[in-house]
Structure 1
Amino acid sequence: MARLTTPMHRSGLLVFQPLRHMQCATCRRGPLKLLVLEDGAPRCLDCADLGHLVFVPRGDTALTRRSREESVLSAVVVRFNRRKSRYERQGVLVEEAALARAEERCLADAEARRRRRARDARRRAAEDERFAEAFAAEVRRLFPGCPVDRALAIAGHASVRGSGRVGRSAAGRALSEAAVISAVVASVRHLDTPYDQLLMSGVTWHEARRRIAAAVETVLRAWRGTEADVG
């Protein structure tokens, strides 16, 4: 068993997870899962007056920190890593009441985070709804013959948050004419032409687009209410 000369002693009382079977030098109980070294001799937690403490494993930084803040008496639990030749922290021992208080604080924080996430979700949903309405209005401005429901569907599809679609691009968020037209063309291509069926039959995307270009143009002209070539 290593001596208490590792840097870990700066964290306070040290408790060890032994790598081999050891017995308490005082009460002879063993093997010990946790022990304290006193004058080089292993002592069980009860004999070291630490038996009333409970173990908090590492992993939850907030719970560990708050448990130690709430506990009058605490200890750091370490285990020697032979491969790395160093002691590594495994958790802490704290008073049971202190752990309960720390858990209550963490639960309160979790509830606060939950409420904040809910508020943020409502805010984002409202922003998304306003943006989709603005996008749909721009679709209707450029294509006054486009049905209202279809314009809303185009806007909703193009502007899904995190989708990477044109509505979420910088140009889309700025409601640039090119981005809006691109979203409309994509909708017409997939819903008003046999484009998807051509792709499923093995036709390459550029050949499929060439074949349905006239059909797309016909729909766009009708929606624009003009015979201009929209490409």
Structure 2
Amino acid sequence: MQVVPTPPAHIGLVVIQPSRRRHCAGCRRGPLSMLVVEGRVPCCLDCADLGHLVFLPRGDTALTRRAREESTLSVVVVRFNRRKGRYERQGVLVEEAGLARAEARCLADAEARRRRRVRDARRRAVQDARFAEAFAAEILRLFPGCPRDRADGIAAHASARGSGRVGRGAAGRALSEGAVVSAVVASVRHLDTSYDALLMGGVPRREARRRIAVGVETVLREWGWEADIGAGR
């Protein structure tokens, strides 16, 4: 007689995926991919009146929960882990119609989540555009000689969501003068001086900044900035 280890009682009604070749004690079919233990002997799903159920592997928690809710009868499927000495869940057996209803519910939720993501993305895009516009306006207020397209470019670069740049920090979001000046100085440093070439040539960052400081100040003066820019360097 083929004796099968009995799963713990607290699991409830279960089906086992055997790790050894097993045959049904009733109809003698086998080897079985799934079985039920009755009187400590294996029984196939058909003989156990569970053959009409379909297997749903573990992995999708929401689908599993809903499939069990939609099925009048559901059974936990387990497999014995010899290394750990315990049964582990592999999925569930549920009614095919119940699984179909559960899948439809999950698809509806997925579509709702997709639409919400689209709405959120649109809202963030509007917020970002408004903030970049405000940032550019503040640049032009502090640097009235700065070309409009250059101010727009600096604002867009500094305020890009997720960039970690000065415009995304608390000071930047508050449009503080220090944050705006820092963004402008950074742009001038990279686009209007030889700073990047110096770095590529192996010049240390502090020394490179010292060498191009006069060039940065010259551009800022041309744009109408009259205060000390030492902090912005």
Q: TM-score range by the shorter chain?
A: over 0.9
User: Do the aligned partners of 1:221 and 1:229 also contact (CA within 8 Å) in 2?
Assistant: no
Amino acid at match of 2:222: A
Aligned pair count? 227
Deviation for aligned residue 1:6: 4.3
Structure 2 equivalent of residue 80 of structure 1: 80
Over the aligned positions, Cα root-mean-square deviation in angstroms equals 1.1
User: Do the aligned partners of 1:70 and 1:99 also contact (CA within 8 Å) in 2?
Assistant: yes
Runs of 4+ in 1 over 6 A off after TM superposition: none
User: Do the aligned partners of 1:23 and 1:32 also contact (CA within 8 Å) in 2?
Assistant: yes
Deviation for aligned residue 1:229: 3.9
SS class of match (1:224): coil
Describe how 1:106-117 pairs up with structure 2 within 5 A.
106-117=106-117
Structure 1 equivalent of residue 186 of structure 2: 186
CA distance in 2, matches of 1:138, 1:225: 13
User: Do the aligned partners of 2:7 and 2:87 also contact (CA within 8 Å) in 1?
Assistant: no
Structure 2 equivalent of residue 199 of structure 1: 199
CA distance in 2, matches of 1:230, 1:208: 17
Describe how 1:77-156 pairs up with structure 2 within 5 A.
77-156=77-156
Residue in structure 2 matching 1:3, options 2, 6, 29: 6
User: Do the aligned partners of 2:154 and 2:183 also contact (CA within 8 Å) in 1?
Assistant: yes
User: Do the aligned partners of 1:79 and 1:88 also contact (CA within 8 Å) in 2?
Assistant: yes
Deviation for aligned residue 1:120: 0.3
Percent pairwise identity: 75
SS class of match (1:116): helix
Structure 2 equivalent of residue 44 of structure 1: 44
CA distance in 2, matches of 1:225, 1:48: 86
SS class of match (2:217): helix
User: Unpaired runs of 5+ in structure 1?
Assistant: none
Structure 1 equivalent of residue 168 of structure 2: 168
CA distance in 2, matches of 1:160, 1:221: 27
User: Do the aligned partners of 1:25 and 1:42 also contact (CA within 8 Å) in 2?
Assistant: yes
CA distance in 2, matches of 1:225, 1:197: 26
CA distance in 1, matches of 2:7, 2:130: 64
User: Do the aligned partners of 1:67 and 1:101 also contact (CA within 8 Å) in 2?
Assistant: yes
CA distance in 2, matches of 1:27, 1:147: 87
Deviation for aligned residue 1:60: 0.6
**Shift in alpha-carbon separation, 1:203–1:225, aligned structure 2, 3 A:** closer
**Shift in alpha-carbon separation, 1:19–1:6, aligned structure 2, 3 A:** farther
CA-to-aligned-CA distance 1:23-75 (integer Å, 9 cap, x gap): 11111111111100111110111111111111111111110011111111110
Q: Does 1:230 align with 2:229?
A: yes
Structure 2 equivalent of residue 26 of structure 1: 26
CA distance in 2, matches of 1:140, 1:162: 24
CA distance in 1, matches of 2:29, 2:88: 25
User: Unpaired runs of 5+ in structure 2?
Assistant: none
CA distance in 2, matches of 1:199, 1:193: 12
Q: What TM-score does the superposition give when structure 2 sets the normalisation length? A: 0.94
